[in-house]
Chains A and B, each alone.
Chain A
Amino acid sequence: MNILELKEVTKNFDGIKAVDNLSFFLKEGSITSLIGPNGAGKTTVFNLITNYLTPEKGSIYYQGEEITGSLPHRIANMGIGRLFQDVRVFNKLTALENVFVAIKKNCGENPFTSLLFHRRVAKQEEKNMAIGLKWLEFVGLSEKKETLAEDLSYGQQKLLSLARLLANDARLLLLDEPISGIHPEMIERILSLIKRLVQEGRTIFIIEHNIGAVLKVSDWVMLLDGGNLVASGLPSEIKQDQTLREVYLGV
């Protein structure tokens, strides 16, 4: 089944076509990579899916339902989670608190409930604690739970924002450069986590410059250039594809 589908989506910036009549779909439970040179429009595609940018033309469907133009937090609540290129953890909150914020339907987030129904909120917080610890453990940050996010290493911050997405119960994870700028051991760790998530039935959509690494884990690869797909296929096909070399090396 297709979890996400873009149909003829177009977005202009001051007359320049950032995304041009783009159509594709993602299979549920797969890992798909979106690769391409700088300025190809990769992050714009993510911004269109989460509606930080609204497309001028075309439509976007999530689990068969049209989401074009929906409010960003509604789209997030439907199950589309996003890991930002610049991680965007909550610096002054601890690792555990970062994950708590992500938990859905948290009754204590209503100030009047927090004020008047102390016990109900306390009970909810106990549940939150279990969820928070579970996902911190999943990404291997249990020991850092009381550490402020700003004191974590860059790689750990990436793991933390992944834990946040999982606590948010995202079914489709949009990962914007999840393994860029971190050391090789951490790359292996994140890639193996991604594989485990797919086994659990989640769908992963990755933007990445480290092509060698993502080709290893991807089920499907799409090559974006000038706001449109210039090639797509299995990783083994894309590796052989002449277009990849042309786009990246200009030969």
Chain B
Amino acid sequence: MNYLLHILIMINIYLVLAFSLNLLIGYTGLLSICHAAFYGIGAYISTLLMINLGMNFFLALLLSILGAMLISLLVSLPSLRLKGDYFILCTIGFQLIVFTILYNWISLTRGPYGISGIPTPSLFGFEFSTIPRYFLLTLIMGIISFIIIRRILISPFGRLLKAIREDELATQSLGKDIFKVKILSFLIAAGIAAISGSLFAHYVTYIDPTSFTLEESIFIATIIIVGGMGNLKGPFVGTVLLFIIPELLRFLGIPDAVAANLRQMIYALLLIAFMYFRPQGIAGEYKFK
């Protein structure tokens, strides 16, 4: 039972990540490859606030969201001035910088040693210390995030994002400040990714920079590309599928050492195959031109 709940907790955490990245990739047409950086920033900020200042989890969560949003400006302001491939390269650069900082700022992050003994969240004396309880927490946070994202996406703002994705120049010619709109989209996506990071850190109670690498960013983008871009179904399909595959390998009795590598290969193949044969993903409505 706990095994199943563990999978579901991870799926919940990744659903939040996938939905927030879909805002950028699927709605705004921005192929951002630095989502793991915001995931990590969320994880580290809330961990450090709880450990060093003894802050309540929910306050730490809120501050980690705001922190990630603020830091997102550092990458969005320069990168959104660039177009296409140059934008993608800029986000990859940011991802690498964040990883390097987490890895080398030892006095703050303990670098490669990671931070252990991360406290579990509690609310009014109710500890989310067992797996079923933590599942409940991720479920509630997942639902809240989903409602927020859905409301944003079906709003006139969501429509404007789609218009920018379809034709930037035409959107601009209608008097829209597309630069500002893209920055807002980036800001929101980063803030929501931080929720995932925080939920992850306080679940596994140990974090180190290797959870927030470029590979991880590519993995999150793969979820969107495989699942489908530009609607609410796609990230859901992608997340569930990409989490079930490794578990199936486990059931096939493949040794862990092999399974880990095999998993990476399957993800890579899926990414290539989908880009080639079905660029809109399984349930998407939009594909890259």
List the interface of chain A (C-beta within 8 A of B): 50, 52, 71-74, 76-77, 81-82, 84, 88-93, 97-98, 100-102, 104, 106, 108-111, 114-115, 118, 121, 124-125, 128, 161, 164, 168
Q: In residues 150-190 of chain B, which contact A (Cβ within 8 Å)?
A: 151-152, 155-160, 162-163, 165-167, 169-178, 181, 184-185, 188
Asked whether A90 lies within 8 Å of B163 as measured between CB atoms, the reply is yes
Given A73-B178, A93-B162, residue A121 in contact with residue B172 (CB < 8 A) = no
Least Cβ distance of A117 to chain B in Å? 11
Interface residues in B, total, Cβ within 8 A: 31
Chain A residues with Cβ below 8 Å from B156 are 100, 106, 108-109, 114, 121, 124-125, 128
In the complex the two chains form, is A114's CB within 8 Å of B157's CB? yes
Output the least CB separation between B76 and chain A (Å): 14
Rounded to whole Å, the gap between the CB of A188 and the closest CB of chain B is 26
Q: Are A114 and B152 in contact (CB under 8 A)?
A: yes
A49 CB to closest chain B CB (Å) equals 11
Closest to B155 in A: A114
**Given the known A-B contacts A92-B162, A92-B285, A115-B151, are A108 and B157 also in contact in the complex, defined by CB atoms under 8 Å?**
yes
How distant is A26 from chain B, measured CB to nearest CB, in Å? Answer: 18
Hey, which chain A residues are within 8 Å of B176, CB to CB?
Answer: 73, 101, 109
Cα(A57)–Cα(B151), bound, Å: 48
Q: B-side binding surface: helix, strand, loop or mixed?
A: helix
The answer to whether A111 touches B155, judged by C-beta atoms less than 8 angstroms apart, is yes
**A110, A111, A124, A125 interface centre (most CB from chain B within 10 Å):** A111
Q: Which of B166, B169, B175 contacts A91 (CB 8 A)?
A: B166
Is B286 at the interface (CB under 8 A from chain A)?
yes
Q: How far is the CA of A164 from the CA of B156 in the complex (A)?
A: 15
In the complex, the chain A residue whose C-beta lies closest to that of B171 is A101
- Taking Cβ atoms with an 8 Å cutoff, the residues of B that contact A are 148, 151-152, 155-160, 162-163, 165-167, 169-178, 181, 184-185, 188, 230, 285-286
Q: Which residues from B are CB-within-8-Å of A84?
A: 169-170, 173
Whether A101 pairs with B159 at a CB distance below 8 angstroms is yes
16 sampled A-B residue pairs with Cβ under 8 A: A52-B169, A71-B177, A73-B176, A77-B175, A90-B162, A90-B171, A101-B163, A102-B174, A108-B155, A111-B155, A111-B185, A115-B152, A118-B151, A124-B156, A125-B156, A168-B175
| Contacting residue for A104 out of B155, B175, B178, CB 8 A | B175
List the A residue with the shortest CB-CB distance to B147: A115
* Residues in B whose Cβ lies below 8 Å from that of A74: 175
Contacts of B152 in A (CB 8 A): 111, 114-115
A84-B170, A111-B188 are contacts. A76–B160 as well, Cβ < 8 Å? no
Residues of B within 8 Å of A106, CB to CB, are 156
Contacts of A168 in B (CB 8 A): 174-175
> Which residues of A have CB within 8 Å of B181?
109
Q: Is the CB of A93 within 8 A of B174?
A: no
| A111 CB contacts on chain B under 8 angstroms | 152, 155, 157, 184-185, 188
Q: What's the nearest-Cβ distance from chain A to residue B29, in Å?
A: 11
Tell me, rounded to whole Å, the shortest Cβ–Cβ distance linking A120 to chain B: 11
Cα(A101)–Cα(B285), bound, Å: 19
B165 neighbours in A (Cβ, 8 Å): 92
Q: Which residues of A contact B167 (CB under 8 A)?
A: 88-90
6 shortest interchain CB distances as A-B pairs: A108-B156, A114-B155, A76-B175, A88-B170, A77-B175, A90-B166
Q: Specify which of A76, A104, A121, A125 is in contact with B173 (CB 8 Å cutoff).
A: A76
